């Protein structure tokens, strides 16, 4: 049986490391090339120590379209505004693409310019990539040539809200308030004031309050799921973690809403999903999912207060795996007709 061939473009970051790691243990996909503009000529283990001795590959500096030639699929770990320059050329060479940047997640060029700080270089391509949330778009991903893997915060929040959107609980005019905490690896491999350990390790700090770039992505996704006019108030928090996201979404529901009915929505949505756990006996936590491609979702329904009662939905995942590279591999598996769980089934460590 022929093994599929894959190239990773942008392999020296944290997301690139996770994609490489998962591909090196993949039973049906061979990693044939890793492209980067730094550490050129160095072995993979020189940049990602856990990969020492696992491969003879070295980082190569090649034009992405040339690097992808002869491959079945290219996984892009490039920064925002860089993927947009290279993905069309790779696709024109007949190679499937999974992009981890935000360059092809949105359909609205105006929203892209606002949240990513520049006009999109290929606005005609917006809307041509399938949004890579398998729990929503699995069938479309299977037949896609180009998939935009979701952002880490977006994945966590969307998984928390998706059953409510499908169940008609996010009515027109509904406002959802979200507080999401994230680990430092979400800021990327380049050191910055926000990820400097002496400050990060003893601190909690908000950033991009009500203006995070995953906001329009979440709104577009919820519209696709049935929440047509949802409003989102999102406050991200920089947490003293290396990995992990914990998001709490607050939704006001009618006072007569029963916890059993909400639980049924989540059970229907996730009991058959390979990587989403609806937890009933506790609430989700980062330590239960860090290091693996699994997400946890749970909720608490508060007492009635007048005409409403508050639903607090908690979701947790590893920002680099289910919120990043692991989900990219999950999408790759679907696109190539492989078992969706291939190279992703290992649970994370505890603690």
Which residues are identified as catalytic? 152
Of 302, 319, 349, 192, give the one whose Cα is nearest residue 246: 319
Torsion (CA) 105, 107, 109, 111 in degrees, nearest 10: -70
Compute the distance between CA of residue 294 and CA of residue 270 in angstroms, rounded to an integer: 12
Compute the distance between CA of residue 133 and CA of residue 135 in angstroms, rounded to an integer: 6
Give residues with Cβ within 8 angstroms of 308, minimum separation 6.
Answer: 252, 253, 254, 255
What is the SS3 assignment for 130? strand
Please report, for residues 16, 64, 238, the alpha-carbon distance to residue 235 in angstroms, rounded to integers and kept in the order given: 27, 36, 10
List 175's β-bridge partners, or say none.
Answer: 231
E strand intervals along the chain:
4-9, 29-35, 59-60, 73-76, 96-99, 130-131, 146-148, 175-182, 205-206, 231-238, 245-254, 276-278, 295-305, 308-317
Compute the distance between CA of residue 328 and CA of residue 97 in angstroms, rounded to an integer: 10
What is the SS3 assignment for 96? strand
In the DSSP assignment, the letter for residue 338 is: -
For residue 236, report the phi and psi dihedrals to the nearest 5 degrees. Answer: -85, 150
What is the SS3 assignment for 143? coil
Helix H or strand E segment including 134: helix 134-142
């Amino acid at each position: 049986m022929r093994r599929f061939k894959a190239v990773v473009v942008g392999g020296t970051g944290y997301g690139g490391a996770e994609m490489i790691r998962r591909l090196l243990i993949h039973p049906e996909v061979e990693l044939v090339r890793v492209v980067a503009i730094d550490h050129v000529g160095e072995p993979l283990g020189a940049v990602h120590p856990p990969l020492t001795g696992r491969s003879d590959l070295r980082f190569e500096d090649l034009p992405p379209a040339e690097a992808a030639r002869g491959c079945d699929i290219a996984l892009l770990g490039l920064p925002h505004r860089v993927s947009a320059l290279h993905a069309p050329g790779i696709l024109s060479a007949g190679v499937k693409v999974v992009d981890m940047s935000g360059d092809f997640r949105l359909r609205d060029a105006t929203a892209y310019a606002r949240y990513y700080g520049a006009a999109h270089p290929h606005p005609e391509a917006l809307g041509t990539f399938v949004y890579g949330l398998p729990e929503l778009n699995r069938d479309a991903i299977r037949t896609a040539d180009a998939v935009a893997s979701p952002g880490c915060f977006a994945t966590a929040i969307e998984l928390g809200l998706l059953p409510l959107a499908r169940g008609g609980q996010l009515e027109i005019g509904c406002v959802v308030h979200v507080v999401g905490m994230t680990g430092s690896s979400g800021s990327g491999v380049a050191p910055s004031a926000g990820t400097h350990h002496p400050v990060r390790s003893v601190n909690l700090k908000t950033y991009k309050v009500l203006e995070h770039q995953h906001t329009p992505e979440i709104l577009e996704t919820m519209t696709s799921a049935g929440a047509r006019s949802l409003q989102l108030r999102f406050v991200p928090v920089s947490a003293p973690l290396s990995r992990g996201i914990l998001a709490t979404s607050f939704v006001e529901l009618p006072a007569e809403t029963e916890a059993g009915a909400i639980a049924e929505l989540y059970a229907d949505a996730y009991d058959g999903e390979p990587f989403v756990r609806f937890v009933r006996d506790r609430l989700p936590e980062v330590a239960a999912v860090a290091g693996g491609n699994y997400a946890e979702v749970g909720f608490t329904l508060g007492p009635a207060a007048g005409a409403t009662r508050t639903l607090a939905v908690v979701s947790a995942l590893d920002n680099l795996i289910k919120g990043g590279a692991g989900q990219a591999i999950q999408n790759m598996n679907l696109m190539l007709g492989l078992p969706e769980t291939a190279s992703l089934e290992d649970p994370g460590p505890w603690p």
